[in-house]
Chain A
């Protein structure tokens, strides 16, 4: 019995490792969640002073995480909502991995995000409308996933958006045409078999079915 008590205590000490950095904590949740066969996240030790010395993480002068460069890193698993806590993040580069599951709506909290690259993964679910809060976003690439549902109309208010790619998904509904969306070409939307054309201005109303 004494052994079990000790064992329990040991477990608590190991599992309950506290750490003092909220951003490091948030990133560490990602490490816990994902499968990392090439050990690219090996340096992600939550007991360190801050996550700024972790490889693939970049901080500003105030030790706040501004970039996460994990493109083409052979990672799989789900994206964690905790990523939404990295409030100074500018670049979230998770492209060309095997991430599954939905895009966490919490990414809409990343007010400083300039680039969101989640292309070439196996993400499912719909594009969270909360991404419309990313007022500094210039690049949004969600192409080559298995995203479904409509393109949230709210995204058209992203005034700084220069590059949009949602091609090669399973999106449906019509393509918004107003605001920043007026400048994107068909290429941004291609290979979404259920995606209808843009709303026409004054001529034909296309059937917007196929989205239910």
Chain B
């Protein structure tokens, strides 16, 4: 059967060939063979007609056109679902091919250099494939080409300079490849070229000069390359036929030339995302055809030019992300064909000109992130009924949201956040059936959340936070079946949450924090919201237990319910939420055993269970939460030991286990937590000694180990904790000396408390270096000896020795002693003590009236005379004033310094030898 079938086919072939020997030329046969050979190299091509058996119909094969002689002249296989390479396509077999179009297929591999054989081709389109490697130099042989497109492939390497030979080309598109710059000077200009694109390649500076000689260009796209420096002036001068110019997303510098006016035929000008600076030239009156103008993301400053108002055809104006700092010009209201107006992220000021209400075709209006002010008049809103997106956020707008907002029934996005809008939210907002994103947060809105909001069934994001809203969450909030984010935080909302909130099946984020909500959370919340990831009920007055199904989707990420009156146990599903990142439960009345309440949470960064009634023990599992930065469990009833595994939490900044029932020793491994800022373990039953490893915590600012049963000595290593601001070791059973190394902790600021221990020995003088310390408590120890002070005994003011209170007047006293010592040539201690029996120096000297100044002076020197004698007498006068026994009588130091440099005291008429010391005590302050 098989054999006979084959024989039949063979006979049929012979018959066919013999029947039409004259119609099939040898070149057609070669062409057909080449096509079939290529077809066979492709993976399952839908080219059934391509078969040698169908040779007779070659000119009717899919995608094939012939010339009169029956030879293939065009191959048109655009969008033919072809995959494979061009390697097996024998280009030499097609001497009459004028057009090759393989666009929109899945051809890979490289472009064969034999492509240079189709030398009479006028059109070559290989665009939208995945061709790679370099463009062969032989492309330059196709000198008849009028159209060439290699757009959107993966071609790399230099643009071959041989393309310069394609002098008949009119349309050349090399866009969306990875091509780099050749030596551009090797490429001459193309006299007939009208369309040129090198967009989205890796072209670097400098500018391809040949372009500047292509006088007939109407379309030029060099966007998304790496061109720098100035845009060449000759581009504006020479290319006067340009209708489309796109130089976006390069690094062009400098101001925009006013020669731009020469491009008077431009319809489309895109210069966005460059480094252009200066002001936008006010020249648009000479470019009447402009439809699209994009200058966003540059460094333009100054005014929005009012000549933009002349652009009657302008549809899209995008000036956002510049430094424009004018008002919005009145004339912009003349551009009545505008559909897209983006002025966001500039420094625009003042209110919107009323003329903008003429822009009735606007679909997108972006004015966000400016300093715009004034009301948004109902007049605007009622004219902008085509709006799809209205973005006014981050400005200084005031007044009420006009009720006319309900007319914008096409509105999809409404962003009014961070302004100072006041009044209530108009109920008409419920008309905006197409709204998907609404953010009104950060205003001064008051009143209730309108009940009509239930109609917004397409709403995905609803943010009303940080306003002054009152009343309850609307009972029918559950109708918002598309809602993903509900944020009403920081308002004055009150009452219970409606049961219907449990119906929000798309809900991912619910943020209710900082309101006045009360009552229990609806029992079913979470059960029907499997995507729920962020839950915040913080800072309300909620009561009762958390719904058991709250985390039934196991996707909980941020879970903050702190500062409420929640009771009972944590939902069991918490244990399965493996992406848990942040947990705040503090300040409630939660109870239950936490030993086993948590599971595997590799992303957990923050957890606080503080101020609850949790029991149980710290599981060793806590050591696995390697990203944890904050672990707070203070003020609970947690018992057992601190697991050594906590030493693995190397990212930990805050560890607070205060006021629990912990026993055992402080793990030595806590010394590994080198990022730790706060370590609080006070008010537990901890025993053992303070590990010396605590000294490795050089970033530690707060250390509180007070009120435990910690014994042993204070390790001197503690002196290495150089960032400590607060150190409390009080109410323990510490013994031994106070290590003098504690004096190195010169950042100690708020507290050093070693009280209520059994410390002994003396107070190390080094503690005197803690000059920033505000509170020091060493009471209730066994410390003995003298309280150290900064200074030397022989120069100490009498009250200092008595009170240990260092004042400025003590310094003044010491200065007086030194000054006297200088004059006397010996320590004046005896002299001063002879005076000290009286309350004032003057009184003492009056009791010893015969002491002469000359006898007091250094006897090794000859007595001074003249001006020097005056100076000596003056200095002794001052020194005596400084050593007054009563601090109040001493002058202050600045005064002394001034007197010494100015010497304003009375001149002594007597010779030195006759001046009595008692005369020198009448110093006037």
Contact = CB atoms under 8 A, between A and B. Distances in A.
Contacts of A186: 893-894, 897
Contact of A16 (B393, B514, B893): B393
Given A8-B320, A9-B413, A69-B701, A53 B606 contact: yes
A144 B518 CA distance: 53
A178 interface: no
Contacts of A69: 701, 725
Interface string A20-32: 1100000000000
Contacts of B808: 183, 185
Given A12-B368, A185-B811, 16 more contacts: A1-B316, A12-B391, A12-B393, A16-B394, A18-B417, A18-B463, A43-B629, A49-B489, A50-B538, A53-B630, A55-B677, A56-B677, A71-B747, A183-B808, A185-B893, A197-B901
A71 B750 CA distance: 14
B562 A197 contact: no
23 contacts: A5-B340, A8-B320, A12-B393, A12-B415, A16-B368, A16-B439, A18-B417, A18-B442, A18-B463, A18-B466, A20-B489, A20-B514, A21-B490, A21-B514, A43-B653, A48-B560, A49-B536, A50-B514, A50-B538, A197-B894, A201-B895, A203-B904, A204-B904
Interface in A26-53: 43, 48-50, 53
Interface size class of A (residues with CB under 8 A): 35 or more
Given A20-B466, A55-B654, A203-B902, A49 B562 contact: yes
A183 B653 CA distance: 40
Nearest to A22: B466
B514 A18 contact: no
Contacts of A50: 514, 538-539
Given A12-B344, A49-B536, A203-B904, A20 B892 contact: no
A196 B369 CA distance: 48
A125 interface: no
Interface of B: 316, 318, 320, 340, 342, 344-345, 364, 366, 368-369, 389, 391, 393-394, 413, 415, 417-418, 439, 441-442, 463, 465-466, 489-490, 513-514, 536, 538-539, 560, 562-563, 582, 584, 606, 608, 629-630, 653-654, 677, 701, 723, 725, 747, 808, 811, 892-895, 897-899, 901-902, 904
Given A18-B466, A49-B560, A183-B808, A197 B413 contact: no
- Could you tell me the dominant secondary structure of chain A's interface residues? loop
Contacts, number: 108
A198 interface: yes
B368 to A, nearest CB: 6
A197 B320 CA distance: 55
A63 interface: yes
B894 A49 contact: no
A193 interface: no
Contacts of A21: 490, 514
A186 B124 CA distance: 87
A89 to B, nearest CB: 15
A15 interface: yes
Chain A to chain B: the 7 pairs with minimum beta-carbon distance, closest first: A20-B490, A203-B904, A18-B441, A20-B465, A20-B466, A49-B538, A20-B489
Contacts of B316: 1
A200 interface: yes
B898 A20 contact: no
B389 A9 contact: yes
A197 to B, nearest CB: 5
Contacts of A198: 894-895, 898
Given A49-B513, A49-B514, A69-B725, A18 B894 contact: no
A71 B902 CA distance: 41
Contact of A20 (B340, B441, B630, B901): B441
A195 to B, nearest CB: 12
Interface in A60-75: 63, 69, 71-72
Contacts of B898: 197-198, 200, 203-204
